[in-house]
Chains A and B, each alone.
Chain A
Amino acid sequence: MRIAFTLYMLLFVTLLTGCVTSHPQNATEFRAAVPGAFLAKVDKYEVTEPFQKVASRFEKMAPKCFNVSIKTVSQSTTSYQVIVTDYKPTVIVGEDRAELHLQQHHRQGVMKITEEPEGGYYLMVFDAIKLDGENTRIEYYGPSVGHETIIKAVKGWASGENVGCPDLTA
């Protein structure tokens, strides 16, 4: 499972870059690259939660959950692979819009294929946009396959249901 996951991640990075000559260096470039990339998607939905609550959960939970390093070990009779991944969250909150950027840097076990932005390759971006006093729109940019636990966790932060951290080893 771990090997499959790692191969998938490389594929996602590769497809996102097209000819593998460059990789999005910031969230704006990432948002622009996702719609045309294979195995990537944009997902938009609304939650019945006031924008301020959503933004404050982004601010509280992102550092709590994503300032982590994850070590995965894959072992079979013929191979042994160790991958260490550092995650980096960034939350930007404005009056009507909050952004959550999640980057990942493979410290060990994965070869770097293009120039990596400071903090790591962009893995996903969530935008929370104020609609009215009670509703908020969420826009997700990122992989269309895998990472369901992260997506589910952030959806929980937006909706207020089962608020917690995704188990990044799951």
Chain B
Amino acid sequence: MLLASGCSSTKLYKDVLTHNLEVNSKTDSVEAILDIYSVGMQCESEYLGTVALDRNSIELGIVMGKPSYLIVGFASSSFWSNSSGFISYDFTLLPREAFRYEVDVSYIDNIYNVIVYEVSQLTGGKREMEAAELRNCHS
């Protein structure tokens, strides 16, 4: 599954930060992963690691105040047709102080979705982030 993500040197993400990201996933026939990259001033990205989305909910930390480039990948395989597939959705997140982030990931019946929410830690207010806020610096 990890090879299917296209990254030949896959490593586990070192989660050493305060948890500010919650990934809720619901999948029926695929393995889901989350690749995490840091993004530098010149738009260069550095691969930090991969998290297997093998539980309904996973909490982790990403660096505050700096953009992170995140790729949610879905890997499928079929023994009967001797085929495999990998499709992904990527976005850039710039975590802010006093906010945490929720990502709802689903893959049901060959339909997938990734929705990113920003939640205020002060008020509890939750809003879906727009595509424009999640574009990476190459977009």
Contacts and interface: CB of A to CB of B under 8 A. Distances in A.
Interface of A: 1-2, 60, 63-64, 68, 70, 149, 152-153, 156, 162-170
Given A1-B81, A1-B83, A167 B111 contact: yes
B83 A167 contact: no
A2 B107 CA distance: 21
A63 B131 contact: yes
| Interface-centre pick from B78, B83, B110 (highest chain A CB count, 10 A) | B110
A153 B83 contact: no
B108 interface: yes
Given A1-B81, A164-B106, A169 B87 contact: yes
Interface residues of B, number: 19
B87 A167 contact: yes
Contacts of A1: 78, 81-83
B81 A149 contact: no
A68 B87 CA distance: 10
A155 to B, nearest CB: 10
A101 B112 CA distance: 20
A122 B83 CA distance: 27
A2 B83 CA distance: 8
Interface of B: 74, 76, 78, 81-83, 85-87, 89, 106-113, 131
A1 B78 CA distance: 10
Contact of B86 (A149, A152, A165, A169): A169
Given A63-B131, A64-B131, A163 B85 contact: no
Contacts of A165: 89, 111-113
B113 A170 contact: no
Contacts of A164: 106, 108, 111-113
Contacts of A149: 110-111
Contacts of A156: 111
Contact of A162 (B85, B86, B111): B111
Contacts of B106: 164
